[in-house]
Structure 1
Amino acid sequence: MLRELHLTGEPAADKLLNEDPFALLVGMLLDQQYPMEHAFAGPRKIADRMDGFSLSKIAEADLETFVELCVTPPAIHRYGGSMAYRVHALAQHIIENYDGNPEGIWLSGRPKPDGPEVLKRLRALPGFGEQKAKIFLALLGKQRGVQPKGWRETAGSYGERGSRRSIADVTNAGTLAEVRAFKKAAKAAAKG
């Protein structure tokens, strides 16, 4: 089931995430030490500054010029410079390994990749660790209709039905507030 994404609270930013799988990957990349909705609005900031959002344009961009574009206020992230390097590396990785097709990460191959294989491919992306890869796998399964065999189990607790743990569970302002409350409680428990 393909669900229309409502992750940022900004219609233009959400439209880009719905239409461009690379934009969705970039949003996930930026979702670190930064409010979720701002992270996923990052691709729209890049698009506005590059006259459109294009994986190939980002990969081919002069790195220093791209970094400058990303750190210009409002920056794409609290750590705009280091994240710009990661976005650039992500674009190059997808060109080199998936012929510029981000959906190849979860769709390419015979037989079609299962949940563990998709997770392995996501973990291999620049800037993606185990947790980020599991969250993105859950986002694909819960909201994009990409449900390779075993995806829920592979995504762990992020794949649970009805959970409110991550961006994979955000469908509107109410669920965003629930995810924030869960994260706050988890952080407090970890300190406690």
Structure 2
Amino acid sequence: MNITLRLAQRPEADELLGRSPLAALVGMLLDQQVPMEWAFSGPYTIAQRMGSNDLDAHEIAARDPEEFAALLSAKPAVHRYPGSMAGRVQTLCQYLVDHYDGDASAIWRDAATGKELLNRLNALPGFGKQKSQIFLALLGKQLGVTPEGWREAAGPYGEEGCHRSVADITGPESLDKVRAYKQEAKRAAKKSAAT
């Protein structure tokens, strides 16, 4: 995997996301309750603080939990909730070690169908249906992982030409479109809840 992604909107962070399946997966895990660019810059920040240019699931899983939480909490923090997210990142990495020998790309490398891949993503700690569908759409739209039925399995996030999620961000302009879509969705949800 050596693709150009523009999710962090920082060249060095995006470069890591494009070449490291684990970095892309960790970025997706961190993508909640913080701006997308902050979440997807997280893997680069973690790698740098670990003294590396890459992430290794074995190394992260083996780290002392308090030490790893401190690493994510150092200023500027990797996430709004660095302690709890440190635990989630370590849990995800331990799952990858236990089920895929630490190789994140093994999740999708031999998936025969979009449904099978979605099931594998849903099984990941910290990945619910929506996060799994968004990541599946990112794999299909930007990383060339297109098992049969991937668009259907990704649900609305797999639609061509939409700007719903990180799967559709290819630069600043598309980021603005995704933000506008999310703001409109929030407004609609508030309006619906009020009636």
Note whether the superposition's TM-score is higher than 0.5.
Answer: yes
Equivalent positions of 1:1-192 (< 5 A) are 3-52=3-52, 53-108=55-110, 112-192=111-191
How big is the shift at 1:3?
5.0
Amino acid at match of 1:26: V
TM-score, length-scaled by structure 2? 0.94
User: 1:185 and 1:106, CA in 2 relative to 1: closer, same or farther beyond 3 A?
Assistant: same
Show CA shifts across 1:51-93 (max 9, x none): 1122221111111110110111111110111110000011110
What RMSD in Å do the two structures reach over aligned CA positions?
A: 1.0
Runs of 5+ unmatched residues, structure 2: none
Equivalent pair of 2:168/2:178 in contact (CA under 8 Å):
yes
Q: Which amino acid aligns with 1:36?
A: M
Aligned partners of 1:150 and 1:76: how far apart in 2?
35
Contact 1:139 1:167 in 2 (8 A): yes
- Would you say the 8 A contact 1:135–1:166 is kept in 2? yes
Identity of aligned residues (%): 55
Letter in 2 for 1:13: A
Q: Greater RCO between the two (CA within 8 Å, min separation 6)?
A: 1
Q: Counterpart of 1:35 in structure 2: which amino acid? A: P
Unaligned runs of 5+ in 1: none
**AA partner of residue 169 (structure 2):** V
For residue 7 of structure 1, give the secondary structure of its aligned residue in structure 2: coil
Between the aligned partners of 1:3 and 1:44, the Cα distance in structure 2 is 16
Q: Give the conservation status (yes or no) of the 8 Å contact 2:3–2:19.
A: no
The answer (yes or no) to whether the contact 1:3–1:145 under 8 Å persists in 2 is: no
